[in-house]
Amino acid sequence: MEMDQLVSLCKRRGFLFQSSEIYGGLNGFWDYGPLGVELKRNVKEAWWKDMVTSHDDLDAPAGAPSSFEMTGLDCTIIMHPQVWKCSGHYDLFHDHMIDCRQTNKRYRYDQVRGRWVEAKGQRIFVATMVETQDEAEDLQRRALKHFKLRAKDAEQLSWDGDVTSLTTVEDTSVVLGPDATELGSLTEPREFNLMFKTIVGAMGTEEDAAFLRPETAQGIFVNFKNVLDSTRVKIPFGIAQVGKSFRNEITPRNFTFRSREFEQMEIEFFCHPEQSPAWYKYWRDRRFQWYVDLGLAGERLQLRDHDPDELSHYSTGTADIEYQFPFLPAGEFGELEGVAHRGDFDLRSHMEGKLDPNTCPLTVEVDEHGQPRHRGSGRDLSYRDDESGEKYVPHVIEPSAGADRATLAFLCEAYTEDQAPDEKGKLQTRTVMKLHPRLAPIKAAVFPLVKKDGMPEIARDLYRALKQHFPTFYDEKGAVGRRYRRQDEAGTPYCITIDGDTLSDKTVTIRDRDTLEQWRVKLDDVEGELSGRLK
RNA sequence: GCGGGUGUAGCUCAAUGGUAGAGCCAUAGCCUUCCAAGCUAAAGACGAGGGUUCGAUUCCCUUCACCCGCUCCA
């Protein structure tokens, strides 16, 4: 399937529009149309129902270490700025980037390393981005090339000091960029604000700056104690939240995959440290299965465990649930959801102050005066087990899913073209969205076969009755074949047709979107028949 | 942010320095007893801004958006 075909169908049928389209659009923002809003709502409602409201907290589900409770939360998009300082987003999201004018490559300022070297009376800083083990070789090779020296003349290079960060270099005109052959091709570092900044208060100044949340998770952490104190929940338990988040992506691209305004479905699951590895495994497998059950069953979906060197060292495991989107290069997958073991990093950061993720054991990051770089709340966010008397900071398993990405994956997976015979028996290409019935925006369409002989009256009554139970569409215009095809493109799983026989025996046909099969059902049994099939 | 490409009707495409045609869809009507039939009618577009010109959809500049590559992906 070509991505443009899906994009075109999404616009044509009202799944997705570009934001502010009449003004030329806005990069990284997308609107859901009449069909899209139903689809995305169904994705979110399926998640909420499966994870929260229908959860059985009395018995341990299959694969779970024990029974557990689930509860929900809906917190604000704008929070106290200190939340983002302690979470690490403030520092991390203020990356400085440098560009290379010669090669047009871009680097994260703090990731570029290099070493001072002098030869032939010139002192330069050779920068590199290669892996640490190949660093020395790359530096020497490029230094020799710059000074037009042969390998056997390597002793003419006078190295000064160890490999160090580019951030220690003040004069960029003597820097040889990581991929450059000319000196001074790097720009000055430029700041990229990956969090959306806003002002709280009508007279707001820079001191009133706040941020739109880049993830919903922090709202759960900062409400951890409130939930504990108000609900009688006991560990292990999870708090779920669905909501908008905002990230000023440098390059929004690939339809809705990387949007600047997007919606997340996140769970923070709190458990005893000793049990956390078992819970991590449970959530990782369960979340993967959720996508499988909703139709992403093929080889295009995968569960990928992060390599140890991809992990934050305080995490004992992270897995991505990934989908092979059609816009990605062959063999590449895009992330739908990350399931992360986060240890006690988050709760402790909000207690003690921002932790330095590079320390082990974790300690609070300090500034040049030895004070916490970002001070925590000072509140005790530890948990006391009333039965054992044990007090500890819970560990956290975080299944964090993208609602828009999941919706997009379901759309991609559903898009199908097959051959169906037309009126004359000739094969025609049929475009059909094979969405899971739980996700389909419209569950059923009701047609009178022809617009006469009392068929519309019966059809309208059935339409009104079905509409009380699930989204139903009514259409009496034109040829019935055309009406079927229209519903195929919208992903409607069932079409009910009132025909001549209905008038005499009170039965109708139900037509299956995927198989094109039809069978007759008593008029009074239609609702029950469909409800059973829509689960 | 850089380099390349693309923007004409809801969709897919034409043509043109003298204000644009078609197919499909959608709308109304006729006809139709199960998979995009047919007939009739009406409707609908040069991404935005500026410049050159008597006149710009066409040439030039700027901008916005989309696609590809680089970069980024917390």
Question: A109 CA to B71 C1', in Å?
Answer: 13
Per-residue pLDDT at A136: 83
Same domain? A280 vs A165: no
Q: Which residues contact A364 (CB under 8 A, 6 or more apart)?
A: A352, A353, A354, A355, A356, A372, A373, A376
Evaluate the CA torsion angle A172, A174, A179, A182 in order and state its sign: positive
Give which of A194, A190, A212, A196 is closest to A249, Cα–Cα. A194
Per-residue pLDDT at A488: 92
Helical ranges in A353-495 per DSSP H:
403-414, 455-467, 480-490
Question: A216 CA to B74 C1', in Å?
Answer: 14
Average pLDDT over residues A12-32: 89
Full residue range of the structural domain in which residue A282 is found: 59-78+196-410
Query: Bigger pLDDT: A292 or A313?
Result: A292
Q: How many Å apart are CA A119 and CA A139, to the nearest integer? A: 14
Q: Which of A192, A218, A244 is the last residue of a domain?
A: A192
Same domain? A220 vs A315: yes
Query: Bigger pLDDT: A105 or A257?
Result: A257
Burial of A156 (0-12, 13-18, 19+ CB in 10 A): middle
Same domain? A306 vs A207: yes
Same domain? A339 vs A455: no
Question: A83 CA to B29 C1', in Å?
Answer: 64
Backbone angles phi, psi at A374, to 5 degrees: -135, 120
Question: How many C-beta atoms lie closer than 10 Å to residue A511's C-beta?
Answer: 20
Same domain? A153 vs A265: no
For strand B, the positions having any atom within 7 A of a protein Cβ are 1-3, 7, 10-12, 25-28, 30-38, 47-48, 64-74
Question: A462 CA to B38 C1', in Å?
Answer: 31
Give which of A264, A296, A267, A297 is closest to A280, Cα–Cα. A267
Whether the CB-CB separation of A488 and A473 falls below 8 Å is answered with: no
pLDDT at A305 over 80: yes
Q: What's the pLDDT tens digit per position in A220-268? A: 999 999 999 999 999 999 999 999 999 988 778 889 999 999 999 999 9
Share of chain A above pLDDT 70, in %: 96
ipTM of the complex: 0.88
Closest nucleotide to A479, Cα to C1': B32
Domains in chain A, number:
3
Helix and strand numbers (H, E) in chain A are 14, 29
Question: How many C-beta atoms lie closer than 10 Å to residue A88's C-beta?
Answer: 19
Per-residue pLDDT at A419: 77
CATH no. for residue A449?
3.40.50.800
Helical ranges in A255-389 per DSSP H:
276-293, 345-352
The model's pTM:
0.87
Q: Closest residue to B37 by CA to C1' distance?
A: A423
Same domain? A222 vs A290: yes
Same domain? A186 vs A218: no
